[in-house]
Amino acid sequence: VFDGTKHVPYQEDDEPNAINAYGRSKLAGERLVRETLAEHSIVRTAWLYGLGGDHFVERVLRRAAEGGALVGVTDETATPTWTRGLAQALARLIETRRYGIYHLTNAGEASRYEWVQEIVRLAELDAGARPVTAVEFRASLPPGTLAPAKPPYSVLANEAAARLGIELRPWREALREYFAARSAPRPSEG
């Protein structure tokens, strides 16, 4: 919902300014919630990944396994956020019955390039990633591929939740735990 022009994390009360249809639709949803419900919580997050999904982490791993070239955008920055930690934080937030706007992401920030590098390192892959700008990345996509411009800086300050004692771990630590959980046997696997 933010335009990404700040160079410090966005606060919960910063004025939204969505720059693409995706951001505008999220902002419209926020407005509808505020207009419809007297008691409500709006939670903003970023760059989600979790067990069992098709998301950025799994796409990087799949591309590396297929021998494809890995690239990482250097000029888009946010915070990778593991859904397990987010779900735990949401449960705690619900228990507080304190309504408002909250930012919930893992701590820290990374470019997509830094995220790719950490994925490759944790997976112990013999693969390197080439740094590219967002413009270079979009230009490299097949013609007709939908690739809207994204905010260059989407790091969220998690201050409102922190005041309630709700904080998520650093993103690298969460990603490390994700890799451990990803390789652990699932209950249905015995």
CATH number at residue 133: 3.40.50.720
Assess whether pLDDT exceeds 60 at residue 12. yes
Assess whether pLDDT exceeds 80 at residue 71. yes
Answer whether residue 174 is part of any domain.
Answer: yes
- Mean local confidence (pLDDT), 97-113: 98
- Count of all residues that appear for the chain in the document: 190
pLDDT given at position 145: 86
Answer whether residue 15 is part of any domain.
Answer: no
The total number of structural domains that make up the chain: 1
Tokens of 29: 């949803």
Answer whether residue 2 is part of any domain.
Answer: no
pLDDT band at residue 187 using 50, 70 and 90 as cut-offs: low
Please give the model's pTM, rounded to 2 decimal places: 0.92
Answer whether residue 59 is part of any domain.
Answer: yes
Which positions are catalytic? 22
Answer whether residue 177 is part of any domain.
Answer: yes
d(CA 115, CA 98): 33
d(CA 146, CA 83): 26
Question: Quick one: DSSP state of residue 186?
Answer: P
Of residues 74, 2, 15, the one with CA closest to residue 45: 2
Answer whether residue 4 is part of any domain.
Answer: no
Answer whether residue 14 is part of any domain.
Answer: no
pLDDT band at residue 188 using 50, 70 and 90 as cut-offs: low
Task: Give the structural domain span for 174.
Answer: 21-182
* Cα dihedral 64, 149, 41, 39 sign: negative
Answer whether residue 157 is part of any domain.
Answer: yes
Of residues 145, 156, 151, 112, the one with CA closest to residue 24: 151
pLDDT given at position 148: 80
